[in-house]
Structure 1
């Protein structure tokens, strides 16, 4: 049974989310004290976090930063705000998805299921270590290492990089990435993919590899093989 932490201060909404997700056999937990979110996160050790943006004391962006400083657990944002910068901010902070309120519970459940399948199942039949452009990629630990150092990626970033590397020197279309990453493109915006790829490239820049992920306008993305071990 997967353990989910819902960081939501609207009690009626939280209980509705909990009731719906419990029907799908998820173990759902809420926050008792919004001043002690990280303590409760560490105690619960969730497999996935659902977090609202507008919260008491500190907003969801703050808690996302705190969680990401300790864990790569998947994070889904919920928000009643419809400004595009909120979604961009959440993705830049390392969130895996963003759902605007009001939402249909079928959409929430579909996103949760897709993320859990991707994060906890996708690597079981894959080789865990891969070399690319002189770097070693550990799919299990979500790290990329070379002589310049080691960077840690989010689950989404690792998955995107894996898909591109498995088809290195060939263009992977945006549609292929969306379908592979989120399983159903109806449940994800095109802009979300752009944000994730840009964030991946920025992280790779830290160890000199960002230039090897190229955007092919109107086509997709390509991982070039530019270095040798």
Structure 2
């Protein structure tokens, strides 16, 4: 039975979500210690997280960043905030989807099922063995959110991992901007052009941590391409 963890400080909303989720055969756990969300997360080991933004002590963005250091379990933000930047921030901080309040419970369930299928079900990669994507000494471990080169390791966010995975899979071809947007964000209406640029810059910084300069080439009018042939002294 899949476990859904609910992080919502409005008790009525939390109980409403719990009852509705359990009606569909899932186990729902409500977090109550808002200063130790990570402790509850580690104890529960949920398959998916429903996360409010406005929380006591630390906001949902903070907790999502902490979760992404340890897990790639889907995170769906549920919030009364309706601004485009709030939704961009949710995705930028590691979220997978965003639902605005007030919400219809059927929409919540549809998004939960969609994310569970993507992460564990018919759309998920085979989980029998850990996936490793390797090219010319580079090794990407998507489930660990790690990029390795020689004896160096760079820790990645989920978005950074997705971008590098796309670049590796398309090498030596160009990964189009539109393709990257579709992979990273389902609802592109809330993503401005600069958001992808910011993430590409972060990816370049990760390569620099490994001692690799100029790893991601901008192909004007098309997208980005991974430059695999490292020059002497860049390793």
Which shows bigger deviation, 33-42 or 52-61? 33-42
Alignment of 1:198-209 (within 5 A): 198-209=201-212
Q: Which of 1 and 2 has greater Rg?
A: 2
Q: Per-residue displacement from partner, 1:2-51 (whole Å, max 9, x unpaired)?
A: 21111001122222322333344322111123233232222111122221
Structure 2 partner of 1:63: 63
Report SS of the residue matched to 1:124: coil
- TM-score in terms of structure 1 length: 0.76
- Unpaired runs of 5+ residues, structure 2, are none
CA distance 1:201–1:84, change in 2 (3 Å): farther
Structure 2 partner of 1:123: 125
Q: Is it true that 1:4 corresponds to 2:42 in the alignment? A: no
Report SS of the residue matched to 1:33: coil
Aligned length: 227
The two structures, once aligned, show a CA RMSD in angstroms of: 3.4
Higher relative contact order (CA 8 A, sep 6+): 1
CA distance 1:59–1:21, change in 2 (3 Å): same
Answer yes or no: is the 8 Å Cα contact 2:72–2:158 preserved in 1: yes
Alignment of 1:147-186 (within 5 A): 147=150, 149-180=152-183, 185-186=186-187
Structure 1 partner of 2:19: 19
Structure 2 partner of 1:76: 76
Q: Per-residue displacement from partner, 1:64-107 (whole Å, max 9, x unpaired)?
A: 34333443433222222234443344334333333333344454
Which shows bigger deviation, 53-62 or 117-126? 117-126
C-alpha separation between the residues in 2 aligned to 1:187 and 1:26?
A: 30
Structure 2 partner of 1:94: 94
- Unpaired runs of 5+ residues, structure 1, are none
C-alpha separation between the residues in 2 aligned to 1:110 and 1:175?
A: 25
Report SS of the residue matched to 1:141: coil
- TM-score in terms of structure 2 length: 0.75
